Amino acid sequence: MIQLGPLGFASPLLLLALFALPLLWWLLRATPPAPIRERFPGVVVLLGLEPPEKTPQHTPWWLLLLRLLIAGLAILAFAQPLLNPRESLSSASPLHLIVDGGWASAPDWADRMASATDLLDRADRAGIPVRLDILAQPVPEGREAENLTATDARARIDALEPSPWPPVRADLLDRIGDDAQSVWIQDGLDHDGTYEALAQALADAGSLRLIGPERGVRAVIPGSPEDGGLAADVLRASSIGESNAQIIGFSAEESGTRRALAVANASFEDGNTRAEALFDAPLELRNRIAVFGIEGVAHAGATALIDERWRRRKVGLVSGEREGGGQRLLSGAHYVRKALEGRTELREGALEKLIGEEVDTLVLIDVGAFPEQEADALLEWVEAGGVLVRFAGPTLAATAEERRAGFGASDDPLLPVRIRPGGRDLGGAMSWGEPQKIASYAEDSPFAGLATPEDARVTKQILAEPDIDLPTRTWASLTDGAPLITSDRRGDGRIVLFHTSADPRWSTIPLSGLFVEMLDRIVKFGVGGEAQTSTGESGFWAPVSLIGADGAIRAAPEGARTVPGENIGAGASAIAPPGLYRAVGGVNAGAIRAHNLLPPEADLIAAPPPPASAVLETLGSRKETELKPWFLAAALALLMLDAIAALFLAGKLRGAIAASALVLSLGMADHARAQDAAEDQALRAALDGALGYIITGDQKTDSIAKAGLYGLTRILIERTSVEPAEPEGVNIETDELAVYPLLYWAVSESQPRPSDEAIASLNEYMRRGGMLMIDTRDRNLALGSGDTPGTRALKRLTAGLDLPPLSPVPEGHVLHRSFFLLDDFPGRWRGGKVWVEAAPPEDMEEVAREGGFKNDGVSPIIVGGHDWAGAWALTEAGRPMLPMSGRGGERQRELAYRFGINLVMYAYTGSYKSDQVHIPALLQRLGQ
């Protein structure tokens, strides 16, 4: 094996034959070209003549060169040239195969496996042991630096799948063995900062070959949930150049499928490795987005989950305050509004309306009592998962007092605790020396970790009835131990009560920043959500669904391992694969949290340049290609050229050239003539509006189609103002289609499948407003399930045709009434279904219209099997050509003509006639 650049030769000894080429040159020069045989009686005279010059006529130099080239190519071919030949492995030291196997390896996994398999094959041939390290997978205890046979290693590689987490390289650093030929199939990223050290260590321990991808992968991470908008960050390893990425927001459906809901663009500037994609979508769509993906990329890094924290809440606000005469600053609703604005979708209005709008959180400011019906609805809403936040105030206090005074201790189910009647509360207020501040928050409350500002003082509050449960329901209390905020569950939802008012008359809390944070945290509860705090995960979390290395999201298997809380959101690893996790027990029990491959602050770092002694190889580029067949083919082609040249020299080619030139010119002339004829035909059709039928090549079918359209044309002229010219046969391969308002295509089994160009021109025809009528002529056309000869022919012929979804002609379709009022569309047959483009589904109508070009609702295609042309067909003398089938008789033929007229009207006027039918009603209305 020798190698010249990317070219290697498996049998290099044969190349020595190249030295014989000069000899060949001399020989070829010495051998005169084959003589021309010439009959010549004067040969008698020639006999005995000594030629004056013995040197024969030389072979022309170019022919010599050609022949040398042939010989050279043949020699090269037999030396077995290989493009990108594989280097052989030395049999002296073991092969150390290192496979990253992490998420960034997934996109070109097949290439990686091919490289690995190839290496192992060669190791097998060389008979050397293999040490296999798969960095993304934890090494079982005691199997480090294990020498495997190539076959065993191969079995492990065959079963290997990429892991949706980064490879761990640091571990390997500790156990690099002695002398080995290392090959590291790496992913081009420096995941844990040990790339350089590992590469150096491997290179030092023997030789190192690095096989890596050509270009780095990209990853997406969701933007911070704290920000108002919904955003995703795209990361790249290389900071060079500008580029774009499309981020798609998907919904995660129950079925496991995704639906793209929104698209945002992220553009990298030169020098940046991070670009932001900001989603601008309506709230309903926005809140359904659960997954980010990079367009056209499928791996774990290109899939990022978001959870409840990213949801923008819909908050309803109901205020029971009496209008303060325009004193906005004295209205609690004003403070709540200000606190929630921008972070949530705030709705105001009547309570029932808000519940109907499916708000996530309802804030009631000083609302005391509800009508019974409203209270039931509210309770139902809370139990279904709503979060009800109530602020105290004079009204609430009064209501509590009334309730107490009325029927004893009946609890208000819409309050978390029982309220002590206001009188005592108010009286107690006199005893306070000074306003109280917030002392502490309960550990398990969403407020845990919030500051207790000095300036937030409470001057007035309502008090909870002491109760055994009171401490557990208290989220925040004042310095004197009085509960300030209490909360209790109701079904799946929760009720939160601020024991003070939302306006600054009872406390200064609404004036502090604390108020905003408190409301924010409460709002983030969400439907069914619990304790979605943004800090400090704890406890254990069980996976709900997991992201695969291919970027797909799958339900977590039964009994999947739970993950300690500190791992959640801190980057994926073998212990904590990426996915959606649900807290098991603990304060957060039931909370769902997205655990993505990369932590929010992560960056992709490109692998540093490898040590100088390492050989760098691009993945997939070095596929060994045997060039022998190509060389031989080239030699063979040249050999044929040589034969032609030799014939030419021997003067035997002239006739052949002349003949082929003649044939060629005749053919071109013929073609030019045909083109002229086609243009004439198109011109006629364009000027007079002829109906067209597609020439199928089946004589009988075509003549009936022609007679049918002829008959229809006559009837049209007779009865309507449409006066088309004689119908034209249309060759879809060559003719211009756009000039025909209607193309009739009688599907014939014998018609060859149209060429791709013909299909494209039919597609263009339909797209630009043409109407194609396909007639299978076998009565029972059932698309999909049917298997009649006509259907088969239809399927074969229309493969590749860009057909819209079809449906049977609906009741009230324009075809029923564009000229005549028709119940069905008989031809020679009747009773089968006729199909037109399906009307867009209700919800897609908007989209369909926006998509532009929907042809104004006119179907570009009509498919049926009633053999209409057969019914329309008239002879020159005006007599019907074919008998009608069945009982219909001539009445049915009449109906067929009526359908034909309707059809032509539909083709010409589109949906205009559909509007027209309403005119009587409109006129009637105008008259009144």
Contact set with other proteins (CB under 8 A): 32-47, 49-57
Tell me how far apart the alpha carbons of residues 572 and 164 are, in angstroms, rounded to a whole number.
8
* b/e code 805-840 from CB counts within 10 Å (16+ = b): ebebbeeebbbbbbbeebeebbbbbbebbbbbbeeb
Of the two residues 47 and 672, which places its CB atom closer to other proteins in the complex? 47
Q: Please write down the long-range contacts of 681-685, taking CB distance under 8 Å and 24 or more positions apart.
A: 681/728, 681/735, 682/735, 682/736, 682/739, 684/725, 684/728, 685/725, 685/728, 685/739, 685/740
Q: How far is the CB of 69 from other proteins (least distance, A)?
A: 23
Q: How far is the CB of 32 from other proteins (least distance, A)?
A: 5
Of the two residues 170 and 649, which places its CB atom closer to other proteins in the complex? 649
Tell me how far apart the alpha carbons of residues 218 and 297 are, in angstroms, rounded to a whole number.
9
Of the two residues 50 and 372, which places its CB atom closer to other proteins in the complex? 50
What is the distance in angstroms between the CA of the first residue and the CA of the last residue of the chain? Answer: 100
Tell me how far apart the alpha carbons of residues 35 and 45 are, in angstroms, rounded to a whole number.
20
Q: How far is the CB of 658 from other proteins (least distance, A)?
A: 16
Tell me how far apart the alpha carbons of residues 409 and 88 are, in angstroms, rounded to a whole number.
91
Q: How far is the CB of 40 from other proteins (least distance, A)?
A: 4
Residues 6+ apart with CB under 8 A from 36: 650, 651
Of the two residues 19 and 61, which places its CB atom closer to other proteins in the complex? 61
* b/e code 595-617 from CB counts within 10 Å (16+ = b): bbbbeeebebbbbeebeeebeeb
Of the two residues 55 and 535, which places its CB atom closer to other proteins in the complex? 55
Cα pseudo-dihedral 672, 676, 681, 685, rounded to 10: 120
Of the two residues 649 and 881, which places its CB atom closer to other proteins in the complex? 649
Of the two residues 19 and 62, which places its CB atom closer to other proteins in the complex? 62
Q: How far is the CB of 52 from other proteins (least distance, A)?
A: 5
Tell me how far apart the alpha carbons of residues 211 and 614 are, in angstroms, rounded to a whole number.
10
Q: How far is the CB of 36 from other proteins (least distance, A)?
A: 5
Of the two residues 37 and 879, which places its CB atom closer to other proteins in the complex? 37
Q: How far is the CB of 43 from other proteins (least distance, A)?
A: 4
Q: How far is the CB of 67 from other proteins (least distance, A)?
A: 17
Of the two residues 60 and 127, which places its CB atom closer to other proteins in the complex? 60
Q: Which two tokens stand for residue 724?
A: 């088309």
Q: How far is the CB of 57 from other proteins (least distance, A)?
A: 5
Q: Are 218 and 302 in contact (CB under 8 A)?
A: yes
**What are residue 310's DSSP bridge partners?**
none
Q: Are 518 and 510 in contact (CB under 8 A)?
A: no
Q: Are 754 and 732 in contact (CB under 8 A)?
A: yes
Q: How far is the CB of 30 from other proteins (least distance, A)?
A: 12
Q: How far is the CB of 55 from other proteins (least distance, A)?
A: 7
Neighbours of 269 (CB within 10 A): 10
Pure H helices in 332-371: 332-340, 351-356
Neighbours of 143 (CB within 10 A): 9
Tell me how far apart the alpha carbons of residues 700 and 193 are, in angstroms, rounded to a whole number.
78
Of the two residues 31 and 875, which places its CB atom closer to other proteins in the complex? 31
Of the two residues 646 and 822, which places its CB atom closer to other proteins in the complex? 646
